[in-house]
Amino acid sequence: MKIGDLSQRTGMAASAIRFYEASGLMPAARRGANGYRVYGEDDLQRLLVIQTAQRLGFSLDTLRRLMAQGSGDLPHDLILQSLQERLSEIEAMQASLNQQRQDTLALINDLQTQWQQGRCLTLPLPAASAATETRGAQKTS
């Protein structure tokens, strides 16, 4: 199939397909007698793997590392390991986002309370800064 057909089947722009080829994620396309790129079902499947991996948040560098491991089938152990690592990254991001959400809700509540009392925004010092300030105050006393 030509690049236009591959583009249509994957929903990817032809320029993206050429980019993946130029960046080593896709093998160089065979060329027909007319000089056009010719792709097969293996190429289609490889692009679908790239799309799925990118949707899951894998970097192009990680994809290159995975795809460089073998010709044809991807190494199952390495794929599972990469998926587990990605899952750990997602869980860490979720924990961070949950903490940010809690901090944001707490700040909203603090602001509303302070403003209802006619005060301007007053934020407490972070714990590390407060401890440093206390030690500094003790030395000068």
Domain CATH code at residue 10: 1.10.1660.10
Continuous H helices in the chain: 3-10, 14-22, 41-55, 60-67, 76-116, 127-140
| Number of domains the chain contains | 2
Residue at a domain's end among 39, 72, 105: 72
Which residue, of 43, 72, 101, is where some domain finishes?
A: 72
Task: Give the number of other Cβ atoms within 10 Å of residue 44's Cβ.
Answer: 15
- pLDDT (0 to 100) of residue 97: 98
Digit-coded pLDDT (tens) for 76-126: 888 899 899 999 999 999 999 999 999 999 999 999 998 998 888 777 788
Query: In terms of domains, do 68 and 89 share one?
Result: no
The per-residue pLDDT for range 14-62, each reduced to its tens digit, is 999 999 999 989 988 999 999 999 999 999 999 999 999 999 999 999 8
Residue range of the domain that includes 32: 3-72
The backbone region for 57, taken as left when phi is positive above 0, alpha when psi lies in -120 to 50, beta otherwise, is: left
In a domain, 138, yes or no: no
Residues 112 and 83 reside in one and the same domain: yes
pTM above 0.75, yes or no: no
